[in-house]
Amino acid sequence: MTPQARPSPADPSAPTAAQAPRPEATPGFDARRFKAMERAGFNRIAARYADGAHLRAGLAAALLDAADLAPGQRVLDLASGPGLLAGAAARRVAPGGRVLATDIAEAMLAEGARRCAGETAPPAFAAADAEHLCLPDACMERVLAGLALFIFPHPRHALTEIHRVLVPGGLVALSVWGPRPSVPLIHRAQDCIARLLPPPRVPRPSVFRFGEPAALEDALAAAGFHDIDIRPCTFTCCFDDADAYWQAFLDLAGGVAEALGRLPETTRQALRAAITDDLEPFRDDSGRYRLPARTLIATARRPR
């Protein structure tokens, strides 16, 4: 990994050493191992992740609208995956704008570059760790992070880096999953896994850890952001059958998908079969499944 860049001492809005966010730590948690698993998992599902973009199209559009993009802006998209947000952002900042899509999963970036190849002004793609960005201070007018902040082992490091690379007055726009009960799209599969498999030796960071607006606002404020605005965004995904739902979950799951992929085939089939009962409350009259998901979209500015 590259050395972590530090906020400029001349930046009065940057957190001081005493205020700087500390890493979130769980006994036994290994951030490097966690990132390696996430990288392997997202490399495994790159094409399928991109193919499932239509399920989250409404959320993506809402996030881009919140970012207030305009022609000529320089935009950084963190944990960009296959460039779904980055490609749309590049169209919004044309002409004259530039979008840099970053991720730790190189297969995701390659998939994004392939899919954006026909664009007039496609994003640039670069492997980078959101917690340790090799970018100069104050180089971006906008930073995007769609369903990403909760993935980072130390999200406060990522927020500090976002603050550093934004120009004074620059805006970050990000989305996170809402409170766990409001996201059956995710927690139904998690419940099935927890019921059939033994608990992990070291728990993964929860994807719902910023689901409450107060927790997200506190994290943004601690990183030095002002003018924080957090709004809900709810969407619903429809699936023809339980198998389609399970596959869609795996196509979003990154490191979890990688861990499940290493299980014996019989165990994986048992998980796939068991999910049918868990989904029954969401089955409509046509026999299809409709699962809602509540997210939060936050915007915040680096002070001028």
CA angle 209, 210, 214 (to 5 degrees): 125
Helix (H, G, I), strand (E, B) or coil at 200: coil
How remote is the C-alpha of 166 from its chain's centroid? 19
Helix (H, G, I), strand (E, B) or coil at 254: coil
On the question of a cis peptide bond just before residue 27, with omega within 30 degrees of 0, the verdict is no
Q: Model pTM?
A: 0.88
Residue 251 corresponds to which tokens in the numbers above?
């196509």
Print pLDDT tens along the chain (304 aa). 333 333 333 333 343 333 333 435 566 889 999 999 999 999 999 999 999 888 999 999 999 999 999 999 999 999 999 999 999 999 999 999 999 999 999 999 999 999 999 888 999 999 999 999 999 999 999 999 999 999 999 999 999 999 999 999 999 999 999 999 999 999 999 999 999 999 888 788 999 999 999 999 999 999 999 999 999 999 999 999 999 999 999 988 888 888 888 889 999 899 988 999 899 999 999 999 999 999 999 999 999 9
CA atoms within 13 A on the CB side of 240: 2
Q: Which CATH class is domain 34-301?
A: alpha beta
Q: How many residues does the chain have?
A: 304
φ, ψ at 81 (rounded to 5°) = 60, -130
Q: Give alpha helix (H) positions in the chain.
A: 31-44, 46-51, 57-66, 84-93, 106-115, 155-165, 184-196, 213-222, 242-250, 255-261, 265-279
